[in-house]
Amino acid sequence: MSWLILVVAGLLEVVWAIGLKYTHGFSRLMPSVITAVAMIASVALLSWAMKTLPVGTAYAVWTGIGAVGAAITGIILLGESASAARIASLVLIVAGIIGLKLSTH
């Protein structure tokens, strides 16, 4: 169950990371509210997952999901670069996340 909670926390990190772009420096109300709620929920769920998961693993997986998700969302929604080097780097992050998951007892 902790892993599922951690994945949801990571997906919420993607929401708030991308949401920051749409807040325009927190000058737009609705994007700012959505971003703030996603931030709070993401950290709360991360904290909950850390009750049973190792801190280093949980935090690394959380940030990894957020980083990969934000980069992919930026490519799809914002027209950011999808160069081979960038994609290869994202694959390496995903491999690291999988490695952490498989090495946690």
Per-residue pLDDT for the chain (105 aa), expressed as one digit of tens each?
A: 999 999 999 999 999 999 999 999 999 999 999 999 999 999 999 999 999 999 999 999 999 999 999 999 999 999 999 999 999 999 999 999 899 888 876
Predicted confidence at residue 103, as pLDDT, reads: 87
Residue with tokens 């992919």: 72
The per-residue pLDDT for 101 is 85
Write down the pTM of the prediction: 0.88
Distance CA 93, CA 82 (A): 15
Which residues constitute the domain of residue 72?
Answer: 1-104
Q: Are 14 and 76 in contact (CB under 8 A)?
A: no
Token pair in block for residue 33:
């509210």
Contact (CB, 8 A) for 97 and 64: yes
- What total of structural domains would you count in the chain? 1
Longest distance between any two alpha carbons in the chain, whole Å: 44
Question: Using N-to-C axis directions, what is the helix angle for 55-78 and 29-49, rounded to 10°?
Answer: 150
Determine the Cα–Cα distance for residues 5 and 83; give it in Å rounded to an integer.
Answer: 32
Strands (E), 1-105: none
What pLDDT is attached to residue 104? 77
* Per-residue pLDDT, 16: 97
